[in-house]
Structure 1
Amino acid sequence: MEQQQTTSAPLVKAVDISRVFGRGNAAVQALKGASLSICPQRLVALRGRSGSGKTTLINILGALDKPTDGKVFFQDAEISKWSEKKRNDLRRVNMGIIFQSFALVPLMTAYENVEFGLRIAGVPSSRHKEYAERALELVGLKARMKHRPFELSGGEQQRVAIARAIAHKPSLIIADEPTAELDSRMGMQVMKVFKNLVEHEGMTIILTTHDPAVMSVADQVYALEDGQIVEEVK
């Protein structure tokens, strides 16, 4: 895969976005006028206490949700106006989603889990073997691709989940607390994989975290408090 050149134009941009859940007296405002701009080929961390709005923000940036107010752009297109189907198509082709709980299919091997993701992304079957093996090689698990999740450590399972998310070569990876279920050693293994994807594969990664070690290797850190971005580090 060719390394992409970093450009000054943002890959993802949020402009004064707010998100309200519920109505009337039961309404909860999870985001209050948050704005940020993320350029390509960056590893960006969103930090904040539970309830600060970081998961809501990452879901909106990853087209999993829409803001109540404000605008969200992906490669200059205002995706906050798009229908659910159009946003689903955007995620399927241009984004990879990594969950805290790995979300692997238990009876499938590592290879089959990655190949399943390629099918969902609509990659031609003729490219599945090449793409799946390449993704598993990038996360250091090609030699264990025939193992099922229960035969892998937690860190290895998360790396399979990363391989599944990157196999179709998306430009943006969204990861919600990707190291939360891992010990510090395994967590840093995962972060090493992320850094490699950014530096050598040209991907952009946005993740949420509470872990200072994760923040230390990020290119950029946004701090959230009560639904607002209160600090930008680096």
Structure 2
Amino acid sequence: MLSVPGCRDAVQELYPRLLLAVLSHVQRVIEQNPLENMVVYRKECGQGHRPKAFDPSSCALEAVKTLLSGAGYFEVLDYVEEHRGWDLLSSPSEYYCGIMEITSAMVKHFKPLHLHRIFNKLIPLLNSENEHDKIMSRAFYAQLLWHRSVAQSLELDVLAPLKKWIQEPNPIMRLLGLRGISNLALHPGKEREKVRISAIIAFGKMLKCVNKYKPGPVIHNEIYCALVPLMLVMQGNNHEILKVSQN
């Protein structure tokens, strides 16, 4: 149905809900660690070509691709492909990075109204008891703040959840908090001083986390990506900032 011509408007209307559903399904599939040679579906590729075999993970990813193409979001498909997003999504340890790549693509190519519709769907999931939903929604949330109109949303204190995440013991949650704060730091506004202080706190906690847990190259790379905007926003002569940096 998603790829049926004439259904694009309906798919776009339901897109936020469908997107979260199919990506949640991807995470549940890869967590089960299915065998790569387990064929659950074969797709005909035209005369003279052998059918393409899909394992459970490939099927789950194909559902995401079908949704994006059915909605007409081909630029997002291209961006995710170019940035290894599908490989990241299919890895249990890098799934959240894949979510951020999809989000980055949408930030680049979607209108603000569409981003806000997705953002609003995330709010009830941020503190979900389901760990899968929590990681997925927080990865979306942190990277959607890359867009200025989302970061400056008037209906929500977007900084408050991020400050809580950097206090959590899970290094991925701390990293998502760090990424969100670094994205907020890119935008000018009346909350900039609060963001500066939070940036210093977040970076300090993340460094302690690195020393304690010895994370792998994926988390190290994400820390480096967040470092530049954090270093920029930490510049200044505000007395509160200096006080925090000395603690």
Whether the TM-score (by the shorter chain) exceeds 0.5 is: no
Q: Which has the higher contact order (CA 8 A, sep 6+)?
A: 1
Structure (1/2) with the larger strand percentage: 1
Q: Which has the higher helix share?
A: 2
Of structures 1 and 2, the larger Rg is shown by 2
